[in-house]
Chains A and B, each alone.
Chain A
Amino acid sequence: MKKKLALYLFLILTVVSCKLFVLTDRESENIAVEQSNSESTEISSIIEPYKEKLEVSMNQIIGYSEIEMSTGSPEGLLGNYVSDLSLRIGNQYYSALFNDTADFALLNNGGLRTFLPKGEITQGKVFEIMPFENELVVVTLSVKKMVELFNYIGKKTVKGGNRKQGVPVSGNVKIELSGETPVEVLVDNMRLRGRPYKVITTDYLANGGDNMDFFLNPIKYEKLGIKLRDAIMNDVKSKKLLDIKVGSKLDKRISYVE
């Protein structure tokens, strides 16, 4: 009974008073979440079982590499490997979904976050290399945009540059540079022709990431519904099933003329 009375009183007070509240001041300060010691385990006890199972999964060996692969410029083993598998697996999806074939693949070294060691490849390593959720897409570009694309590669490529320089392309592209200028460009052994080209890349780059403005406002933009990370996983796992190690070669797909 007392409880009820208190509740009524509270309600009455609330109703009476709420209209009288007037906003008088505002303050704001966003706060950094720093490392802090905690004796309570109420959070860690929730996380722990998930974390343990996750670590088991991330430590799972999904394949083997015959060679250590890093990104590089004008070309790198890792960039060559990932762009080649992007073209191959991307085109499997492209033909299944749209009954079409893309011409080549182009990615960025900045998106490949670490090197692939020789030997065992864990699931976690693929997450480290490609932590982003970027998906493969096919962008159809006019010849004019294609010229911009190859000029971009010329500018972005630096002899022996840092991890983020250089532009990974699939091995069916051959580019010869003189300084920053492309002097020879072949796609499937042929010079560019007066037709639109279909490029497999990630949605991040297709939306102008890494200043790839040539991808903006394309003739067509088609989503393949597969993440780049999953494409890498597919390649590693399918090779393991066949008892093959993944590998890569430097094949002068981008090179300098003397």
Chain B
Amino acid sequence: MWSRREFIQRSLLAAGVISLTEKFAADLVNKKDLIKVSILHTNDVHSHVDPFPDNHKRYAGRGGVQNRYNLIKKLRKENKNTLLFDCGDIFQGTPYFNMYGGELELKLMSKMGYDAATMGNHDFDNGMDGFLKVKSNANFPFICSNYDFSGTVLKDKTIPYRIFNKGGIKIGVFGVGIELHGLVDKKLYGNTKYLDPIKTAQKYADLLKQKHQCNLVICLSHLGYKYDGKKLSDSLLATKTSGIDLILGGHTHTFLEKAEKIKNKEGGTTLVNQAGWAGVNIGKVDFYFNKTSKKSLNLFDGNASYLEIK
């Protein structure tokens, strides 16, 4: 492929069309001509409303809703095609939760313009009644695809998937949660039925990509990044499914520098990302789509995914 690229590069150079740069691939289809969709995400914010104090050993001055919001606003200004998600454990971790049951956290997330969230195990900490009591403060949906709440007070209060449209790009989003049995007190999750995360993920990936023709499929997960042994994680889910472009994670409080590229079941690429804990980081993944039809792209290369993935 490189030789083909070099060939194009040389011929274009000879024709004086473009100048030589290291990022030749990016210049072939100038990124300005691409539609960029930015995905911003948090996880395990655990009620961290205020920034860490200035004398904090690790995260002095970092985090806090105001700082997060300033950053998010700046990123939205850079790209209007931006979505913001949270991957659960919004609750529990500071007295704000103990005192107000999550009301403030959800109010602030609504103000910050979250597009959707999924539930983590700690979001059950005040039981499903406790969650329901404050849920009206959220103006965004909770997307839970593998918790069957039909026999509980949360029946019809969450949705299994949602499709967003940014700059013409269709983005399908579903959510998988962690097994609550053994992790959360039974009385807190009651009759919630736990559905197989792999099967559920595949079902919604297929539905979104094939039936709804989504250009991008995103899974909001609270399974955890990676474990020793067979315990299901985002890394494992990525290899056992296909059609998911991005798994945003939580639960393990994993600080990744950037999204990790994983080969999925069909050999395609699934990215896995996680943004640490307490809102001291915001995760960011950008997807570029070409505006031109496949036909015009064929001028250069038959394979649309010929650009290098960073």
A→B interface (CB under 8 Å) = 13-14, 17-36, 38, 42-44, 46-47, 50-51, 53-54, 57-58, 124, 127, 131, 133, 223, 225
Residue of B70, B170, B284 with highest tally of chain A CB at under 10 A:
B70
Interface string of B85-117 (1 = CB under 8 A from A): 000000011011001100010011001100000
Interface size on B, residues (CB 8 A): 76
Interface of B, secondary structure class, is mixed
B29 at the interface (CB under 8 A from A): yes
- Closest Cβ–Cβ distance, residue A5 to chain B (whole Å): 19
Please choose the segment from B3-11, B61-69, B151-159 that sits at the chain A interface, where 4 or more of its residues have CB less than 8 A away: B61-69
Q: Could you give 21 example pairs across A and B, Cβ below 8 Å?
A: A20-B293, A24-B305, A25-B307, A26-B261, A26-B271, A27-B285, A28-B258, A29-B258, A30-B256, A30-B276, A31-B281, A31-B284, A33-B63, A33-B71, A33-B281, A34-B67, A36-B71, A43-B111, A47-B108, A51-B49, A124-B95
Minimum Cβ distance to chain A for residue B161 (Å): 17
Within 8 A of A (CB), among B266-285: 269, 271, 273, 275-276, 279-285
Q: Are B213 and A19 in contact (CB under 8 A)?
A: yes
Contact of A23 among B61, B185, B279, B305 (CB under 8 A): B305
Q: B215 and A26: CB pair below 8 A?
A: no
Candidates B67, B95, B279; contact of A54 at CB < 8 Å: B95
Chain A residues near B229: list those with CB within 8 A. Answer: none
B271 and A23 contacting across the interface, CB-CB below 8 Å: no
| Shortest Cβ gap from B133 to chain A (Å) | 16
User: For residue B309, which residues in chain A have a CB less than 8 angstroms away from its CB?
Assistant: 25-26
**Which of A26, A28, A44 lies at the interface centre, i.e. has the most chain B CB atoms within 10 A of its CB?**
A28
Are the C-beta atoms of A127 and B95 separated by less than 8 Å?
A: yes
Task: A30 to B279: give the CA distance in the assembly, Å.
Answer: 12
